[in-house]
């Protein structure tokens, strides 16, 4: 397992790598026949979405491997790669704050001062900014360096990113002009299913697996009380926005269905 100094080095290199990958994709989109004539704001959104999808897939795969490796002992089993990837994850969320800002500014088309750009960015992306800041400053350090919980739980949190490629796939498919295609609809359905499974249902699953292995506690309630309060707080803090976003997805899907039905009736 890497030491703290090595983790910081990995994080620094990872941060540079995320920026370079973004710039590479941005250059490819400039010359690709399908995207070179798109407005800059659309290409910026595509670049951001591609990188986010890559990170989500990588983090999710690490999460699945970690969960599989530690399932037999959720509190004691370790998987060093899970800790090592935390630096890469932190670097990504730091980079993504800049990427989201870049996309936001691209949509403004240079019509505002720097202070106004920052203000409007914070106002429009307040939930996502808060989500990223909490992950970088609180959740990752608490899970990896301060918590006594097993790596199984770290893997579960990583698995939440398995829905990210589908979320970003929705943006990519739309920007490429396939919003009316069957691929867009299928991706949307998969996005909701994966989001519900990996970002909402994951939390009761973690608790159920934990309780199933805590046979020494006199009751499930006592087993839950043995969990540090900060762990419950972190779960609640992460779960709340996930439930909100899932609600928005369901509302969007229902509105699309009813809109389609009304068109057919007319």
**How many CB atoms sit inside 10 A of residue 116's CB?**
11
Burial of 4 (0-12, 13-18, 19+ CB in 10 A): exposed
Question: What are 40-80's pLDDT values in tens digits?
Answer: 999 999 999 999 999 999 999 999 999 999 998 988 888 88
Q: What is the average per-residue pLDDT within 141-169?
A: 82
Percent of all residues in the chain with a pLDDT value above 70, rounded to a whole number? 90
pTM to 2 decimal places: 0.83
Give the per-residue pLDDT at 264: 41
Give the per-residue pLDDT at 240: 86
Q: pLDDT confidence of 266, banded at 50, 70, 90?
A: very low
Q: At what angle do helices 114-124 and 126-134 cross, to 10 degrees?
A: 80
| CA pair distance 97, 129, nearest whole angstrom | 7
Chain center to CA of 259: 30
Q: What is the average per-residue pLDDT within 245-256?
A: 84
Q: How far is CA 47 from CA 34, 55, 65, 249, 261, in A?
A: 14, 13, 28, 23, 34
3-state SS of 107-164?
HHCCCCCHHHHHHHHHHHCHHHHHHHHHHHHHHHHHHHHHCCCCHHHHHHHHHHHHHH
| CA pair distance 50, 86, nearest whole angstrom | 20
Identify the sign of the CA torsion 207, 69, 12, 19. Answer: negative
Q: Is the predicted pLDDT of residue 142 greater than 90, yes or no?
A: no
| CA pair distance 5, 11, nearest whole angstrom | 10
The better pLDDT of the pair 15, 216 is held by 15
Question: What are 89-121's pLDDT values in tens digits?
Answer: 999 999 999 999 999 999 887 667 888 889 999
Burial per residue of 184-208, b for 16 or more beta-carbon CB atoms within 10 angstroms, e otherwise: beebbeebbebbbebbbebbeebbe
**How many CB atoms sit inside 10 A of residue 257's CB?**
10
Burial of 3 (0-12, 13-18, 19+ CB in 10 A): exposed
| CA pair distance 100, 95, nearest whole angstrom | 9
Q: Is the predicted pLDDT of residue 262 greater than 50, yes or no?
A: no
């Amino acid at each position: 397992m890497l030491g703290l100094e090595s983790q910081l080095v990995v994080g620094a290199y990872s941060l540079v790598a995320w920026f370079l990958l973004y710039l590479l994709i941005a250059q490819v989109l400039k010359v690709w026949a399908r995207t070179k004539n798109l407005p800059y704001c659309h290409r910026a959104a595509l670049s951001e979405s591609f990188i986010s999808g890559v990170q989500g897939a990588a983090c999710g795969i690490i999460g699945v491997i970690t969960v599989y490796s530690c399932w037999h002992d959720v509190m004691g089993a370790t998987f060093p790669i899970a800790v090592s990837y935390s630096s890469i994850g932190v670097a990504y969320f730091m980079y993504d704050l800049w990427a989201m800002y870049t996309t936001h500014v691209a949509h403004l088309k240079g019509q505002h001062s720097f202070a106004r750009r920052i203000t409007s960015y914070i106002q429009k992306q307040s939930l996502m900014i808060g989500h990223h800041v909490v992950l970088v400053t609180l959740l990752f350090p608490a899970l990896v360096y301060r918590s006594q919980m097993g790596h199984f739980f770290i893997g579960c949190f990583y698995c939440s990113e398995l829905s990210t490629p589908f979320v970003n796939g929705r943006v990519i498919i739309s920007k490429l002009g396939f919003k009316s295609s069957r691929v867009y609809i299928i991706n949307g359905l998969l996005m909701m299913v994966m989001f519900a499974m990996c970002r909402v249902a994951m939390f009761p699953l973690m608790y159920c697996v934990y309780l199933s292995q805590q046979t020494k506690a006199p009751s499930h309630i006592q087993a839950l009380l043995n969990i540090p309060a900060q762990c419950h707080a972190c779960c609640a803090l992460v779960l709340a926005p996930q439930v909100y976003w899932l609600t928005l997805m369901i509302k969007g899907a229902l509105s699309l269905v009813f809109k389609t039905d009304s068109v057919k009736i007319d």
